[in-house]
Amino acid sequence: MIGFFDSGFGGLIVLKGVRKKLPDYSYIYLGDNDRAPYGSRCKEEIFWYTAEGVEELFRRGAKLVVLACNTSSAVALRRLQREWLPETYPDKKVLGIFCPTVEYLADLKVRNVGIFATEATVSSEAYIREIGKVSLETLVVQQACPLLVPLIESGKLDRLEITVKNYADGLLSKNKKIEAVILGCTHYATIENIFRRHIPESIKIISQEDVVAKSLENYLARHEEVESMLKRGGDCEFLTTGNSAHI
């Protein structure tokens, strides 16, 4: 099985994109809705909550887990891959969603980029670092959007329009030459239409729905040893740490 982990609902959009492209595999999704949002938590909490989520997915049969969460990818991925995985689960894999996003961006050859993300992702500066590795000339400005995940998770959708507008105005005022923006939190991809209303048409919006699917397909083609372990069947199981009656 391929596991998907997010702090809540956001990763569902990534899973949707992956299932559309790779419909034959079996999938399992875990949203840590009970402890979302991760974006305002400290690094240590984000690391251990992510490790617990990944471990649960391994326990239920996942051989490969995609962190469909920028915050977990920014704060926990490296440590999971370098320290935790080799010691505890040497035969399993964990992938993040930064590399696919940054590779996609690099192909666009833009020089001025804006990032919308959680506070933890913004302060990790992971996007600035990763983009810097592929393109030294790209100027990156960031906008933390701490109100968005709580609004999306609690279903308070009427307040999203004005909140997104304020964040979009904030980001665009930091660099008037922005050519592309990354929705650097999977929750934001679920409201891409609202972002589109407040960002000029000339600016490309990069959402991770399709970006991750393409990159995972590529990864599996290059890693036969992982691909051959994966269960097929096209089924998908959804798990939450929250109260499923409220979801």
Output 138 or 186, the one with its CB closest to ligand DGL: 186
Residue 217 C-beta: closest distance to ligand DGL, Å: 21
Cβ burial, residue 136 (10 Å; 0-12/13-18/19+): exposed
Nearest to 241 by CA among 153, 174, 175: 153
Output 38 or 58, the one with its CB closest to ligand DGL: 38
Name the active-site residue from 42, 69, 99, 145.
69
Binding mask 158-197 for ligand DGL (x = CB under 6 A): ---------------------------xxx----------
50 binds ligand DGL (CB under 6 A): no
Q: What angle do CA 230, 206, 21 make, to 5 degrees?
A: 30
Which residue has the CB atom at the shortest distance from ligand DGL? 39
Q: How far is CA 98 from the centre of its chain?
A: 8
Binding-site member from 3, 17, 31, 39 for ligand DGL (CB under 6 A): 39
Does residue 145 have an active-site annotation?
no
69 binds ligand DGL (CB under 6 A): yes
Residue 244 C-beta: closest distance to ligand DGL, Å: 18
10 binds ligand DGL (CB under 6 A): yes
Site for ligand DGL in 204-243 (CB under 6 A): none
105 binds ligand DGL (CB under 6 A): no
CA gap 156, 37 in Å, rounded = 15
Percentages (nearest 5) of helix, strand, coil residues in the chain: 55, 15, 30
Evaluate the omega torsion of the peptide bond into residue 37 and state whether it is cis, within 30 degrees of 0: yes
CA gap 38, 43 in Å, rounded = 9
Six-digit token string for 48: 């251990």
Binding-site member from 3, 17, 37, 53 for ligand DGL (CB under 6 A): 37
**What single-letter DSSP state applies at residue 33?**
G
Residue 151 C-beta: closest distance to ligand DGL, Å: 11
- Number of neighbours of residue 149 by Cβ within 10 angstroms: 25
Site for ligand DGL in 121-140 (CB under 6 A): 121
CA gap 66, 199 in Å, rounded = 29
Which residues are designated catalytic? Answer: 69, 185
| Residues making contact with ligand DGL (CB under 6 A) | 6-8, 10, 36-39, 69-71, 118, 121, 149, 185-187
